[in-house]
Chains A and B, each alone.
Chain A
Amino acid sequence: MNSSVIARLSGIGYRYGSHQALEGVDVSLKAGEVTALLGPNGAGKSTLIHLLLGLLPVQTGSIELFGGSPQARSARERVGAMLQISGVQDNLTVLELIRLFASLYPRPAVPEQLIDEAGLHGLEQRRFARLSGGQKQRLLFALSLVGNPDLLILDEPTTGLDPAARQRLWRVIERHRASGASILLCTHYLEEAARLADQVVVLHRGRKLIAGSPDDIRSHVPSSLIRVRSSMTVEAIRSLAAVGRADRLEDHIRVMSGKPTATLKEWLAADPDLVVVEVTGADLETAFMTLIEKDDDTIAEAA
């Protein structure tokens, strides 16, 4: 195993009864990197995470974590996880839970420092059941950090967090990456992935659709992103030259175009009041959506 690769999943397949949740997926996680695992609901992200954590038995392929089995105690001592469906015992306090988890690891973090880092100061004696949704998320995040993990697995960690808490969590992730930890981040917030990820892995229908840096992913969509204000209907916009997709957002219209100059020329002729807000390359979200739609179209055509 390459010294910087801490986890390698090769040819992973997993089936729940007749449903093929994963098929032939290869992913490597490196020390000091954030890997964003993206995909629509049901793409197989949580199954992949459960396999990596040793919560599900490997059916097809192989998984190597820190040079051994993900089910080995020595591997689990180096991993911290925040799972999507995660609850703890409702009647235990924040401090009791942190101390309980700290007792499980050979090199636990100092509870007081962890409480500060997760923004839980003043909540130490509060029971889990009496925390708000965001506070619960922050506690679960703190529990994933208790063991000072070399691999941090975060499944939708910022769901339900306010912007300040989200920013704080991002800073903690960046600090852990800088200290050499590997982070596997599963998220539906594409701007989060764009900001944090060194590597992006997109899963769709149980297969790995694409992997690379955020720039690599964006470069797979040659179109430009045009943001405008216009009174034209989305249907009319879709009939303009070279328009790939068009969506009306809150205060503007977002259009993907393979030939932005031709699109805008035609659009100005049809709508003289058109206000162009910006023309940029595709962002990660647009690239992600385009790739998923393209894959859906390919599968539909094949069927």
Chain B
Amino acid sequence: MMNYSTHTSAIRPAAWWQFVQCQWLNLLRMPAYSLPTLLFPVMFYAFFGLVMIRGQAHYLLATFATFGIMGAALFSFGVGIATERAQGWFTLLRATPAPLAGVVAGKWFGAALFAAIIVVMMEVLAAVFGGVRMQPGQWFGLVGVLVAGTLPFCLLGLGLGLLMSPNAAPAVINILYLPLGFLSGLWIPVAQLPEWMQSLAEWLPPYHLARLALHVAGVKPADVFVHVLVLAGFSLAFSLLVIVGWRRVRQSP
């Protein structure tokens, strides 16, 4: 029998940390994911928020940042899980004592890191080129609320990733991502959308996260409790999707 390593205790924290670290490394080393996820929303903000639409840099910082973190969460989970399932990585992990919560947490930390980078990059652009001025707490608060706000989108991505093939996942997520962003008023302020679109926006999760972001950034006060409650409701609904997907995976690994 092989020699045993001396680091035999506290395997859970070690495993959790390893999953977080490996998830970050894997995403950072994957230019096909990291470059579009980081640059696409930031370029959108630079183009629309700073160049095309004048005088709205502060408002659009909050909404385009919401758009950016939504992409990081949906693609990291949706495409990531669907691909890993097809590769057999997911099945291999299930055959080990890996804490499934650790696997998901590792993925969430990966998405959260990307979300934080996206928001910070936009904040730098907003401050330098858009003349946006906020209190230190608001700069950090915007990052915090949007990183926390990845939760419902991570759950939606996880559910889709468990249910779809790796070929279908990117297409379906793109079909969801872009219309969700537009209809929730993330590209153009909601007030400038036709009335029926404004009513529709209230039924979409990015709209409610954007309201919270606008509130934290000091652009537009919002009823925080209501928006948090709606996002919690969406998270619960997407959790049901995750349960359905998980049951399907368990029947046929």
On whether the beta carbons of A99 and B4 are closer than 8 Å, the reply is no
Indicate whether A92 sits within 8 Å of B92 (C-beta atoms), given known contacts A77-B97, A110-B5. Answer: no
Q: What string of 1s and 0s marks CB contacts (under 8 Å) between A88-111 and chain B?
A: 111110001101111111111111
Q: Of residues 173 to 202 in A, which have CB atoms within 8 Å of B's CB atoms? A: 176, 179-181
- In the assembled complex, the Cα of A87 lies from the Cα of B83 at a distance in Å of 10
**Given A57-B250, A92-B26, A103-B18, 14 additional A-B pairs, CB 8 A:** A53-B95, A57-B251, A81-B95, A83-B88, A87-B87, A88-B92, A91-B30, A101-B96, A102-B7, A104-B96, A107-B5, A110-B2, A148-B1, A148-B4
- Name B95's contact: one of A55, A179, A181 (CB within 8 Å): A55
A50 interface residue (CB < 8 Å to B): yes
On whether the beta carbons of B26 and A100 are closer than 8 Å, the reply is no
Indicate whether A109 sits within 8 Å of B253 (C-beta atoms), given known contacts A85-B88, A91-B25, A92-B25. Answer: no
Q: Of residues 142 to 166 in A, which have CB atoms within 8 Å of B's CB atoms? A: 143, 145, 147-148
A26 interface residue (CB < 8 Å to B): no
On whether the beta carbons of A104 and B88 are closer than 8 Å, the reply is no
On whether the beta carbons of A83 and B8 are closer than 8 Å, the reply is no
**Chain A min CB distance to B17 (Å):** 8
Q: What string of 1s and 0s marks CB contacts (under 8 Å) between B80-118 and chain A?
A: 000010011101101111100000000000000000000
Which A residues are CB-close (under 8 A) to B18? Answer: 99-100, 103
B192 interface residue (CB < 8 Å to A): no
**Chain A min CB distance to B24 (Å):** 11
- In the assembled complex, the Cα of A107 lies from the Cα of B95 at a distance in Å of 17
On whether the beta carbons of B26 and A81 are closer than 8 Å, the reply is no
- In the assembled complex, the Cα of A238 lies from the Cα of B71 at a distance in Å of 67
On whether the beta carbons of A81 and B253 are closer than 8 Å, the reply is no
- Name B97's contact: one of A76, A90, A127 (CB within 8 Å): A76
Nearest to A46 among chain B residues (CB) is B253
Interface size on B, residues (CB 8 A): 33
On whether the beta carbons of A79 and B95 are closer than 8 Å, the reply is yes
Which A residues are CB-close (under 8 A) to B17? Answer: 103
On whether the beta carbons of A106 and B96 are closer than 8 Å, the reply is no
**What's the interface size class on A, roughly?**
35 or more
Indicate whether A87 sits within 8 Å of B97 (C-beta atoms), given known contacts A99-B18, A108-B7, A113-B2. Answer: no
- In the assembled complex, the Cα of A127 lies from the Cα of B251 at a distance in Å of 32
Q: Which residues of B come within 8 Å of A, CB atoms? A: 1-5, 7-8, 11, 14-15, 17-19, 22, 25-26, 29-30, 84, 87-89, 91-92, 94-98, 250-253
Which A residues are CB-close (under 8 A) to B26? Answer: 89-92
- In the assembled complex, the Cα of A117 lies from the Cα of B1 at a distance in Å of 12
- Name B3's contact: one of A87, A100, A110 (CB within 8 Å): A110
Which A residues are CB-close (under 8 A) to B253? Answer: 50, 55-56
Which B residues are CB-close (under 8 A) to A180? Answer: 1
On whether the beta carbons of A104 and B250 are closer than 8 Å, the reply is no
A114 interface residue (CB < 8 Å to B): yes
On whether the beta carbons of B14 and A103 are closer than 8 Å, the reply is yes
On whether the beta carbons of B5 and A81 are closer than 8 Å, the reply is no
Q: What string of 1s and 0s marks CB contacts (under 8 Å) between A63-85 and chain B?
A: 00000000001001101010101
On whether the beta carbons of A104 and B11 are closer than 8 Å, the reply is yes
- In the assembled complex, the Cα of A201 lies from the Cα of B43 at a distance in Å of 61
On whether the beta carbons of A117 and B84 are closer than 8 Å, the reply is no
Nearest to A93 among chain B residues (CB) is B25
On whether the beta carbons of B2 and A85 are closer than 8 Å, the reply is no
On whether the beta carbons of B2 and A114 are closer than 8 Å, the reply is yes
Which A residues are CB-close (under 8 A) to B95? Answer: 53-55, 76, 79, 81, 83
Instruction: List 22 interface pairs A-B (beta carbons < 8 Å), by A numbering.
Output: A53-B95, A55-B253, A56-B252, A83-B92, A85-B88, A87-B87, A87-B92, A89-B22, A89-B84, A92-B25, A102-B5, A103-B15, A103-B17, A103-B18, A104-B15, A105-B97, A110-B3, A110-B4, A114-B2, A127-B29, A145-B2, A148-B4
- In the assembled complex, the Cα of A230 lies from the Cα of B223 at a distance in Å of 91
- In the assembled complex, the Cα of A256 lies from the Cα of B112 at a distance in Å of 65
- In the assembled complex, the Cα of A50 lies from the Cα of B92 at a distance in Å of 10
- Name A105's contact: one of B11, B87, B92 (CB within 8 Å): B11
- In the assembled complex, the Cα of A280 lies from the Cα of B26 at a distance in Å of 55
Which A residues are CB-close (under 8 A) to B1? Answer: 148, 176, 179-181
Across the A-B interface, the 10 shortest Cβ-Cβ residue pairs: A87-B87, A91-B29, A179-B1, A103-B14, A85-B88, A76-B97, A103-B18, A81-B95, A86-B88, A103-B15
- In the assembled complex, the Cα of A76 lies from the Cα of B98 at a distance in Å of 9
